[in-house]
Chain A
């Protein structure tokens, strides 16, 4: 099966500019996740969707970050305006189940953001 697709792979912007990342999950996967991984740290969950509804966005900086999942398939993560500390890799993952031990996440290759 095709994996989780993300674009762009790399993006360099200046602070206060905006940026958007796109994710296409594995076909049939109801749950989609966005993680932020700052250099030298483990990934941190930003937002989790179940179909097109938000399950968990408690760690999303809502003053500047937003995400949507139209029609329960593709998702877009936006940052506006960007700050220097937003420099990170943004990882998208998807899974078939939302709960239970059968739940296995598949990750995309990530989008690396550099804010100058």
Chain B
């Protein structure tokens, strides 16, 4: 069974702190890994996408890494701000169906981040 796990489930930090969110997956044959942000009652906003051939991606204060051999990805947020408060979801795109083409995007349960002013 393909699984994606996120630790911690919830995190509360003071403003300005650097923080790391963790994501692990069970299948090293990953196509890509994506980090999403979800605000309460809203849809998914894609933050960073790391292809299997890449090791990291950066966007502003965000940096995501991918280590296929260990089945891990991290999302690093520098100098956190109250506006960063949201749920962060990682999702691994994994092959599905050995006889037919296909892939399945499997999500973790998310990390609920609160940045306190």
Interface flag for B117 (CB, 8 Å):
no
- Are B109's CB and A45's CB within 8 A? no
Please report whether the interface of chain B is mostly helix, strand, loop or mixed according to DSSP. strand
Q: Name A99's contact: one of B6, B49, B101 (CB within 8 Å).
A: B101
A45 and B106 in contact, given A55-B100, A101-B32 (Cβ under 8 angstroms): yes
- Pick the residue among B4, B42, B49, B102 that contacts A56 (CB under 8 A): B102
For B95, the chain A residues whose CB sits under 8 A away are 99
User: How many B residues have CB within 8 A of the partner chain?
Assistant: 31
Q: When the two chains form their complex, are residues A41 and B109 in contact, meaning their CB atoms are under 8 A apart?
A: yes
How far does the alpha carbon of A64 sit from the alpha carbon of B104 in the complex, in Å?
23
Q: Specify the chain A residue showing the minimal Cβ separation from B106.
A: A45
CB distance B107 to A101 under 8 Å? no
CA distance A35 to B44 in the complex (A): 12
On whether the beta carbons of B43 and A98 are closer than 8 Å, the reply is: no
Q: Are B104 and A56 in contact, with the CB atoms below 8 A?
A: yes
Distance (whole angstroms) from the CB of A43 to the closest CB of chain B: 5
Segment 21-56 of A: residues with Cβ below 8 Å from B:
33, 35, 41-45, 48, 50, 55-56
Measured in the bound complex, the distance between the Cα atoms of B6 and A41 in whole Å is 11
Question: 3 closest pairs, A vs B, by CB?
Answer: A42-B107, A109-B43, A101-B51
Q: Could you list which residues of chain A lie within 8 angstroms of chain B, going by C-beta atoms?
A: 33, 35, 41-45, 48, 50, 55-56, 91, 93, 98-110, 112
8 pairs, A vs B, C-beta closer than 8 Å? A55-B96, A55-B97, A93-B105, A103-B93, A106-B46, A107-B43, A109-B42, A110-B43
